[in-house]
Amino acid sequence: MDLTINDQTYQVADDPPRVLLWVLRDELGLTGTKFGCGAGYCGACTVHLDGVAVRSCLTPLRQAAGKKVTTIEGLARGEVLHPVQRAFLEVQAPQCGWCMSGQMMAAAALIAANPDPSDEEITAAMEGNFCRCGAYVRIRRAVARAAVLARSPGEAA
């Protein structure tokens, strides 16, 4: 089947049926998407399907067919970092980094759908993404900052 990932088309087999995470990481080498629990709990494997944050460890490959898959590798536009990436750097949110691509994909989906989220909306949108280092305060600050950056003139989140 054809998969469109970060605006590139890949041909991958779905025999036996597989989940998106393993195709991204093991077959296509897109290892920015992380494996945490493999069971839908931690959010480390979060990617976008048509702009919506999903758990790639639970997403059957055929559910991604015909949709636009975006991984952390596709969040930037060429050399220009996404506002979420800039904000996470500015706030120095990452500690070990294990959770960060999932956090950033969740944050990007949030601010695309809700450009001016309240603190409560940020907390609600991010609560399914676990951080083993406990960097939650910085993560929330970074998401709020990302929304501000994304609303700046000339930005397209």
* Share in percent of the chain as helix, strand, coil (round to 5): 40, 15, 45
H or E stretch covering 54: strand 52-55
Q: How far is the CB of 106 from ligand FES (least distance, A)?
A: 11
Q: How far is the CB of 20 from ligand FES (least distance, A)?
A: 10
DSSP sequence for 61-112: HHHHTTSEEE-GGGTSBTTB--HHHHHHHHHT--SS-TTHHHHHHHHHHHHH
Question: Of 99, 100, 136, which Cα lies nearest the Cα of 119?
Answer: 136
Q: Which residues bind ligand FES (CB under 6 A)?
A: 35-38, 40-45, 55, 57, 94-100, 131-133, 135
Q: Based on CB atoms, which residue is closest to ligand FES, 5 or 131? A: 131
Q: Based on CB atoms, which residue is closest to ligand FES, 26 or 116? A: 26
Longest C-alpha distance within the chain, in Å?
47
Length of the chain: 157
Q: How far is the CB of 59 from ligand FES (least distance, A)?
A: 9
Q: How far is the CB of 105 from ligand FES (least distance, A)?
A: 11
Q: Based on CB atoms, which residue is closest to ligand FES, 80 or 124? A: 124
Q: Based on CB atoms, which residue is closest to ligand FES, 133 or 155? A: 133
